[in-house]
Amino acid sequence: MDNQRLFALAGLGLLLFVNYQTWQHDYAPPPAPAPTAQAATQSQDPAATALRGSVPSAGAAAATAPAPTQPASTPTPVPTTSAATGTDIHIHTDVLDLTVNTAGVEIRGATLNQYSLSVEQKDAFVQLLQPSGADGVSVLQWGLAGAGAASAADAIYTTPESTYSLADGADTLDVPFTWTGTDGITISRTLHFKRGNYAIGLEQTVHNATETAVRARPYAQLVHHWTKVDRSMFNPATYSYQGPAVYNGKKYQKLSVEKPDPEQLPKSAITEGWIAALQHHFVTAIVPDAKVPTEYSMTVANADYRLTAMNAWQEVAAGGTATFANQIYIGPKLQDQLDAIAPKLDLTVDYGTLTVIAKPLFWLLSQVHKLVSNWGLAIILVTIIIKAIFFPLAQTSGRSMARMRNIAPRVKALQDRYKDNREELGKQMMELYKREKVNPLSGCLPMLVQIPVFMGFYWVLLESVEMRQAPFVGWLHDLSVKDPFFVLPAIMCAAMFGQFKMNPTPPDPTQAKVFAIMPFFMTAMMAFFPAGLVLYWITNTGLSIAQQWHINKVVAEESQKVRA
């Protein structure tokens, strides 16, 4: 009994200490003011320009990753100048608004016109690529390394229109760019779009009118700014990974920007791989042709990194034509679209070690959502389904707890009788439990089962973009963030306290006090969790109360029959 009291107090003390430390971290006096947005942008420009200002060397293998404080470099870069001399072309689809510069056909801006920044900012949309700004530089470059003057980032392409739009009723949009050299080589590059899809096809066709063969390596590279995010329990979104990642055909791996390590990257050309820049709920990915061996590299300069995918050498015969195709993805982490583009691209929806639980949970939620069209209602229904699956376990546990409640007066009598003889008290209580067929630990089993499901729900709500800004009822406009008025946490507190009162009082007074304050402690901790998670806990607790009330009634009736 002393050990139980010690464990309970130690656990409560640890939780309070962690809470205090987190509060101090989040609400301590702010540090010295950071540079203004303009100053920050200016300080990022040299590194970003270094990363943007060179096309990958045609002969380079996987590039090394220098220390983050050193200027970026790649072996023998092709000399280039600024892409600012090109003309911006605007492309509009039903889901994307792109800005593409004719210098190198660089994708300089990407806005997701179906995703607003927040519930309060309905007219401002998420921007994943931008040539400059307070959030740093993020651009996507693609082309043919080793193809002479056409390789330069400032090679000016031409296109018939200055604005392209996906026509009403049309399912596809093709945007062509052309470069014609004086050496008999013409390169046609086309961006392919599909309605409702965030994947973009990159097609390059080389027309070789010379009398000698031409060799080239298709490449795509993403220059992206990285910002370190300090994690906080009061902002669960900070636990979502943001940064570069690679899939080498067998293994998914997050890449470090603070301590770049070339060993993280594939050491040789691979197939069926991809590289990506992850943000919370969104991703920009380069997906090379799965049949063509591709080399991957990452270069870091200050807080900017460049991910590069370079295909194998390919030859264009004299007087011949060759076409090269890759894909990119710029958009939300929609698992059905990601899974259709490349193997394991859906791993960018980072559920971590609980993927084995979270993915089936999300699948079940999405299937129920198709029927009810409300994510909050889907969470309630899925919770009922899960509760039904574990009903036999909860039923057995509930009956044991009901018996514990019935024998509570006899336990109290034993405690009073043997209060000075702990050894005999333990012996007598164990005999009582055995005689009444009661397991004092049975109440823990449903809780142990709930923990992984609870954490699975946590990651589904945190990572699944489908939950982002998903409304439920009234004041709840976004289930992926905290309840703005803390109504659900208050309901959760009342439900947990009611559940505590229904359960048998622990024989140890200290344990009883710990369990009594636990609903309030849990509420304070979960008040900042996603509202959808609190909704799950309320539903689960409400079902547990209903089930335990019924069990208590049945067990009480059975006890009366036995006494009669």
Question: Using CA atoms, how far apart are residues 46 and 43, in angstroms rounded to an integer?
Answer: 7
Six-digit token string for 476: 């709840």
H or E stretch including 301? strand 294-301
Judged by average pLDDT, the poorest of 48-57, 282-291, 404-413, 516-525 is: 48-57
**Residues 264, 246 contacting (CB under 8 angstroms):** yes
The pLDDT value recorded for residue 422 is 83
Q: What is the mean pLDDT of residues 448-471?
A: 89
The CATH topology of domain 38-77+87-350 is Beta-galactosidase; Chain A, domain 5 (2.70.98)
- Position 413 pLDDT exceeds 50: yes
Across 481-505, average pLDDT: 89
Contact between 428 and 414 under an 8 Å Cβ cutoff? The reply is yes
Yes or no: say if 102 and 157 are a contact pair by the CB < 8 Å rule. Answer: yes
pLDDT digits (tens, 9 = 90+) for 518-558: 899 889 989 999 999 999 999 999 998 998 888 878 777 77
Is residue 278 pLDDT above 90, yes or no?
yes
* DSSP state at residue 563: H
Q: How far is CA 245 from the centre of its chain?
A: 12
For residues 504-521, give the mean pLDDT: 77
What's the whole-number average pLDDT of the chain? 82
Rounded CA-CA distance 252/261 in Å is: 15
Decide: 461 and 480 in contact? Cβ < 8 Å: yes
Task: Measure the CA–CA gap between 308 and 321, rounded to whole angstroms.
Answer: 25
pLDDT at residue 80 greater than cutoff 60: no
C-alpha 144/C-alpha 208 separation (Å) is: 14
- pTM here is 0.81
Q: How far is CA 183 from CA 150, 170, 177, 322, 398, in A?
A: 11, 38, 18, 17, 83
Based on the number of CB atoms within 10 Å of its own CB, is 182 exposed (0-12), middle (13-18) or buried (19 or more)?
exposed
| pLDDT at residue 141 in the model | 95
Q: Is the pLDDT of residue 445 over 80?
A: no
What pLDDT band is residue 420 in, cutting at 50, 70 and 90?
confident
- Whether 396 shows a pLDDT value over 90: the answer reads no
CB 245 within 8 A of CB 255: yes
The 10 Å Cβ neighbour count of residue 244 is: 24
Judged against a pLDDT cut of 80, whether residue 403 lies above it is answered with no
Q: Give the amino acid at 470.
A: A
Listed in sequence order, the residues at least 6 apart from 214 whose beta carbon sits closer than 8 Å to its beta carbon are 147, 185, 206, 208, 315, 316
Residue 19: count other Cβ atoms within 10 Å of its Cβ: 14
pLDDT tens by residue, 162-202: 999 999 999 999 999 999 987 789 999 999 999 999 999 99
Q: Is the pLDDT of residue 128 over 60?
A: yes
Per the model's pLDDT, the better-predicted residue between 12 and 107 turns out to be 107
Q: What average pLDDT does range 39-45 have in this prediction?
A: 37
More confident residue, 79 or 158: 158
Residues in the chain: 564
Candidate from 69-78, 304-313, 347-356, 555-564 with smallest mean pLDDT: 69-78
Provide the residue type at 239 as one letter.
Y
Structure tokens at 217: 């390596």
CA distance 80 to 87: 17
Per-residue confidence (pLDDT) for residue 66, from 0 to 100: 34
Q: Above pLDDT 70, what percent of the chain?
A: 81
d(CA 455, CA 357): 9
Flag whether pLDDT at 72 surpasses 50: no
pLDDT at 61 over 50: no
Predicted pLDDT at 58: 54
| Domain range annotation of the chain | 38-77+87-350, 359-563
**232-246: per-residue pLDDT in tens?**
877 888 889 999 999
3-state DSSP assignment of residue 307: strand
